[in-house]
Amino acid sequence: MDEYSCFVDWDKMDVSAQSQETKELTCTDFHELKQLARQGYWAKNHSLRAKVYHKLISNIPCRTVTPDANVYRDIVVKIVGKRNSSSLPLPEFVDNSLIPTYCLNAEGVGAVRKIILCIANQFPDISFCPALPSVIALLLHYSKDEAECFEQVCRILACNDPSKRLIDQTFLAFESSCMTFGDLVNKYCQAAHKLMVAVSEDVLEVYSDWQRWLFGELPMVYIARVFDVFLVEGYKVLYRVALALLKFFHKVRAGQPMESESIQQDIRAFVRDIAKSVSPERLLEKAFAIRLFSRKEIQLLQMANEKALQQKGITVKQKSVFVVFLRQNVHLAVHAENFKSEIVSVKEMRDIWSWIPERFALCQPLLLFTTLEHGCSLSRFYSHSEGHEPTLLLIKTTAKEVCGAYLSTDWSERRRGGNKLSFFGTGECFVFRLQPEVERYEWVIIKHPELASTGSETENHAQPASSTLSSSSIPSDRLSPFLAARHFNLPSKTASMFMAGSSECIIVGGGDGQALYLDADLNHGRTSHCNTFNNQPLCSENFQILILEVWGFRD
């Protein structure tokens, strides 16, 4: 059909969906380009898409020495020789990934293997890149020959713009992206996450498939539309689409029995057959309707997850043990024989563990403070809790209600306010109720009228975290995402943060209009509940504390 057709089996393609209308793309403005990509401006014109891809990839900032088409022509015969391309062994870094055919002809399928081997020769630093076969297979559709495809893939791999992440090339980067995706699911797809926890022994094992859903299972028409936007907007698009896939899976399969013994297999099958239920346009529409964290906040979260893995010594894939060390599956993290709480059962603690950020799910619970042993003293509460970040607060009332909070920041931060009530914390904080019913409140803030005059001060305090990504400028023990309250679009005239403490009380804000107040004697507390939200209160408005526990996280 055109000069970019040599690897395409047009008998397998839906030619009727292709437009023969001559189109050109002349815009250079990023925002206009982003809109065109999302709208599918070049999606129905094979030749135009090829030219757009070439233009976008040519503009990727790369290393000074990046292999080009001439390099491929020089090395391909030496590397491949006279061997049959269909039987060429693949390097370990593709991790036995699927090599999707994407309607390629026999020559195209063989070319994927040849290009992978040549890339392995030119990029010895790549140690784990399961998405590579899919990217190559897709770009062969829009390349004049193997050499041109090789050059385009090399430019993507050699991108040296620290703010423009494209394809994971190490196990550390890949696994931290899986943890980051798990964190995003936990926040943006809570119904789906609840299902995953209920039917899977290891949630992260399910979420570690997220790139396979995109680069392997998703049909050609869909991944091409995703790739259109990915080349313009970057890695964040992949998270968006994977979240949308999970949302649709939960919606379509809700209440239905599993079709296989594995939720992983069910999701893979759903993505492969997604055309039965969701169009490419609807998938992208859903993906961009998610009000996701900013790119900088996601990068901070990725950095935090990478750091957690490095501290555990998990930087390469170890076939025999890596699954155990990764999310430590909640059954491994909360040992029945070693865990003892007077407030929650092992099962309830495992439920809580499924809500916490992935990097801390690598740890085990450690009891720091309990009123049964340490008494009802706020000063002792602080002395036992300080130095630990994050912490988990559990409360059982005399009415047998059980509630609590995940607190992301060390309680020693309260000292920054001197003797005044000091507000601090990050957007990872949340509150929850276990008895009489289980409910997790999505996000947490505190609104306190006494601090109305310090709104600008709060904004100034939050600004540094949102204006830089340099790990050297963020203290290593405070590497935590969502540091800026601005993400929640909070009013500047009212100071709003997430947790607060003084010598007189503790306050923990609650998502969906909830807030928890504890008096200095740790005997009494109260909650506030905004009736504009359609949910049940955290617990009784005024309550007496029967037992209070604080838990830390042990490596």
The pLDDT value given to residue 331: 43
1 belongs to a structural domain: no
Give the DSSP letter of residue 293.
P
The pLDDT value given to residue 16: 61
Question: Other CB atoms closer than 10 Å to residue 284's CB: what's the count?
Answer: 23
Query: Does one domain contain both 393 and 414?
Result: yes
Q: Of 154, 131, 150, 148, which is closest to residue 208 (Cα–Cα)?
A: 131
390 belongs to a structural domain: yes
- In degrees, rounded to 5, the angle at the alpha carbon of residue 333 between the alpha carbons of residues 328 and 336 is 140
How many separate domains does the chain show? Answer: 3
546 belongs to a structural domain: yes
Residues facing 406 on adjacent strands: 392, 430
For residue 198, the Cα-to-chain-centroid distance in whole angstroms is: 20
- Amino acid identity, residue 83? R
- In degrees, rounded to 5, the angle at the alpha carbon of residue 418 between the alpha carbons of residues 428 and 453 is 70
Give the lowest-confidence range in 31-40, 128-137, 229-238, 480-489: 480-489
- Higher per-residue confidence, 167 vs 453: 167
- Higher per-residue confidence, 214 vs 480: 214
- Alpha carbons within 13 A on the beta-carbon side of 278: 26
Q: What is the secondary structure of 96-158 as a DSSP string? A: T-----TTB-HHHHHHHHHHHHHHHHH-TT----TTHHHHHHHHHTT-SSHHHHHHHHHHHHT
Residue listed under structure tokens 């690897």 = 7
The pLDDT value given to residue 469: 31
Query: Does one domain contain both 419 and 493?
Result: yes
φ, ψ at 553 (rounded to 5°) = -125, 120
The pLDDT value given to residue 11: 85
Give, for 287, the enclosing helix (H) or strand (E).
helix 280-289
> Average pLDDT for residues 287-314, to the nearest whole number?
84
382 belongs to a structural domain: yes
- Higher per-residue confidence, 23 vs 115: 115
The pLDDT value given to residue 322: 40
Residue 326 above 70 pLDDT? no
CA 251, 255, 258, 263 torsion-angle sign: positive
The pLDDT value given to residue 426: 78
444 belongs to a structural domain: yes
Residue 187 above 90 pLDDT? no
Q: Check if the beta carbon of residue 328 is closer than 8 Å to that of residue 206.
A: no
Assign 454 a pLDDT band (cuts: 50, 70, 90). Answer: very low
> Average pLDDT for residues 178-203, to the nearest whole number?
87
CA dist 174 → 129, 180, 214 (Å): 8, 10, 14
Give, for 6, the enclosing helix (H) or strand (E).
none
Residue 438 belongs to domain spanning: 346-449+483-554
> Average pLDDT for residues 214-231, to the nearest whole number?
95
Give the DSSP letter of residue 209.
T
Query: Does one domain contain both 390 and 489?
Result: yes
Assign 18 a pLDDT band (cuts: 50, 70, 90). Answer: low
Assign 242 a pLDDT band (cuts: 50, 70, 90). Answer: very high
| CATH number where 284 lies | 1.10.472.80
In angstroms, the CA 72 to CA 84 distance is: 18
For residue 160, the Cα-to-chain-centroid distance in whole angstroms is: 22
Residue 360 above 50 pLDDT? yes
The pLDDT value given to residue 214: 96
262 belongs to a structural domain: yes
The pLDDT value given to residue 413: 87
Highest mean pLDDT among 88-97, 219-228, 249-258, 284-293: 219-228
Query: Does one domain contain both 152 and 182?
Result: no
User: Which of 272, 296, 328 is the last residue before a domain boundary?
Assistant: 328
454 belongs to a structural domain: no
Query: Does one domain contain both 75 and 137?
Result: yes
pTM more than 0.85 = no
Q: What is the mean pLDDT of the chain?
A: 81
Percent with pLDDT over 90 in the chain: 44
Using one digit for the tens of pLDDT, what is the confidence trace for 19-74?
666 567 777 788 899 999 999 989 888 899 999 999 999 999 998 899 999 999 99
Tokens of 130: 């399961």
Q: Check if the beta carbon of residue 295 is closer than 8 Å to that of residue 481.
A: no
User: Which of 158, 192, 211 is the last residue before a domain boundary?
Assistant: 158
Query: Does one domain contain both 238 and 275?
Result: yes
> Average pLDDT for residues 373-395, to the nearest whole number?
94
Tokens of 148: 């041109």
Residue 476 above 60 pLDDT? no
Give the lowest-confidence range in 178-182, 348-352, 415-419, 495-499: 495-499
Query: Does one domain contain both 357 and 430?
Result: yes
In angstroms, the CA 294 to CA 484 distance is: 11
Query: Does one domain contain both 153 and 215?
Result: no
> Average pLDDT for residues 182-190, to the nearest whole number?
89
Dmax of the chain from CA atoms?
81
Q: Of 207, 199, 190, 189, which is closest to residue 243 (Cα–Cα)?
A: 189
φ, ψ at 324 (rounded to 5°) = -65, -40
Give the DSSP letter of residue 454.
G
Query: Does one domain contain both 271 and 198?
Result: yes
- Higher per-residue confidence, 322 vs 512: 512
Query: Does one domain contain both 149 and 188?
Result: no
Q: Of 418, 360, 382, 378, which is closest to residue 545 (Cα–Cα)?
A: 378
- Alpha carbons within 13 A on the beta-carbon side of 113: 17
Give the lowest-confidence range in 73-77, 131-135, 297-301, 456-460: 456-460
Query: Does one domain contain both 120 and 246?
Result: no
User: Which of 106, 136, 158 is the last residue before a domain boundary?
Assistant: 158
Assign 529 a pLDDT band (cuts: 50, 70, 90). Answer: low
333 belongs to a structural domain: no
In angstroms, the CA 386 to CA 305 distance is: 23
Residue 443 above 70 pLDDT? no
In angstroms, the CA 334 to CA 202 distance is: 13
The pLDDT value given to residue 12: 84
Give, for 256, the enclosing helix (H) or strand (E).
none
In angstroms, the CA 34 to CA 38 distance is: 6
Query: Does one domain contain both 506 and 368?
Result: yes
Residue listed under structure tokens 């403070």 = 369
Residue 458 above 60 pLDDT? no
Percent with pLDDT over 70 in the chain: 80
CA dist 464 → 96, 205, 467, 470, 492 (Å): 42, 35, 5, 11, 16
In angstroms, the CA 257 to CA 253 distance is: 8
